[in-house]
Amino acid sequence: MTKFKKIKALCLFLFTISLSAQESGSGENTTRKGRLLLGASTNGGLNFSKTSYEFEGETFSERENRSFVLNGSVGYFIIDNLVGGVQLGYSISKNESKTGGIESSGSYINLGPFATYYFDLGNNRIRPYVDIAVLFGSIKTETSNPYIEPSYNDPTIIQDNEFKQQSFEWNVGAGAAFFLNDTISINVEAVYSNRSIKDPDDESDSKYKFSNIGLNGGLSIFL
């Protein structure tokens, strides 16, 4: 399924959810102080991203990146409409260098605090919100690097590597929660992510920087 078809299907789904929300529970007291929040979200592979390698302040290469992200969260409403808690994320990605043909794939696990604020605009069935998260994690990366070896009849040699790194990431997003009733909402949001990746054994300041703009869909349960 192409990205256009995925976006079209998502828009149709959200329109149906919106109609359902208008005919069901109000969501009026859903985001009040003292309630718990359980959440899950994914980008479904709908994102636009770029990865770059930075050494001593200079950028040497850029890569196109495709990734799939799955997040889970647990939170507590500190005051009305403001929830804070912990988010756990898992993602897989694949990218290819624009210069040099280097390919890499990786799996990410991260954990950190998040906060979400729901706006009360008088329509309790649909609530816009903004959120932020700061995440720390580990990454397992596999790379395939072609290079020229003149001493062989076939000069193209593929060198494979596998290594683990540490990551720091922050995300900001804005979206809307469509309340099916006072307990469940379907969420959709646009998210910007920025991640720095560094080898803990590397004494230099070299690092990979990853930036991404994506569309997330998710489910929240209010207890």
The 10s digit of each residue's pLDDT in 43-61 is: 776 666 665 555 555 555 5
Which tens digit of pLDDT belongs to each residue from 26-36? 455 788 899 99
* Residue range 3-222, CATH number: 2.40.160.20
Query: Which pLDDT score is estimated for 212?
Result: 78
Give whole-number Cα distances, 85 to 37, 75, 76, 143, 189, in Å.
9, 4, 6, 35, 18
> Sorting pLDDT into bands at 50, 70 and 90, what band is 86?
very high
Average per-residue pLDDT for the chain: 73
Q: State residue 38's pLDDT score.
A: 93
